[in-house]
Amino acid sequence: MAWEPDYVTLSELKSYLRIDDNLDDTLLAVWATTASRAVDGFCHRQFGSVTAEEREYTTQYDRHLGCYIGFIDDVMDVDDLVVLDADANEVTDYSLLPVNALKKGKPYERIAVNVSGPLLITAPWGWTSVPVPVKNAALLQGARLSARRDSPFGVAGSPTEGSELRLLATLDPDLKTSLGSKYRRERWAA
């Protein structure tokens, strides 16, 4: 899986929209990508993954916890996680937060350490798989983009028949409901 993958495939979006031909495949692929990035923007995170790579993070002292906290990119696979301090010394006394994140199907978002300064962390970043609600949200937004094609001025239906609907430049409300607060990150890491 890539770092910023499409959360729905072309065939999944075509099936969702009940499209049987290949006439608009190029445009549908664009909508799949656009819908996926809209999900990223709403959630303040992405749901892909990369192989282990080194990234740098800053820390701040948290007087309530009595340690330094660093906001990190999402990480769910901690087998190959390596933490180095600013002097390239390995840090072995750390905690990943939130507690029990993996048991709840969520990634770790923060690291607690007893050393100040920047941290160099090597890990396979990202999610182990795309959650079903994320895939559903991308389908909903892809369908909204498809409907927008037939209403170039943002108006669908007929005002004379009382079926006028304005398609506002916003995310689909059901996308927001599908993702809720469970998948939305309050603070970006990098």
pLDDT in tens, 32-64: 999 999 999 999 999 999 989 999 999 999 999
Angstrom CA distances, 154 to 142, 164, 166, 170, stand at: 16, 10, 6, 11
pLDDT in tens, 84-94: 999 999 999 99
Contact in structure between 175 and 33 (CB atoms under 8 Å): no
Domain boundaries, the chain: 10-47+130-179, 53-123
**Distance between CA atoms of 190 and 110, rounded to whole angstroms?**
12
Which stretches within 18-131 are classed as H helix? 25-43
Beta-bridged to residue 54, according to DSSP, are 122
Q: Which two tokens stand for residue 147?
A: 């409907």
Over 70: is that where the pLDDT of 157 sits?
no
Global pTM reads 0.81
Upper half-sphere CA count for residue 82 (Cβ side, 13 Å): 10
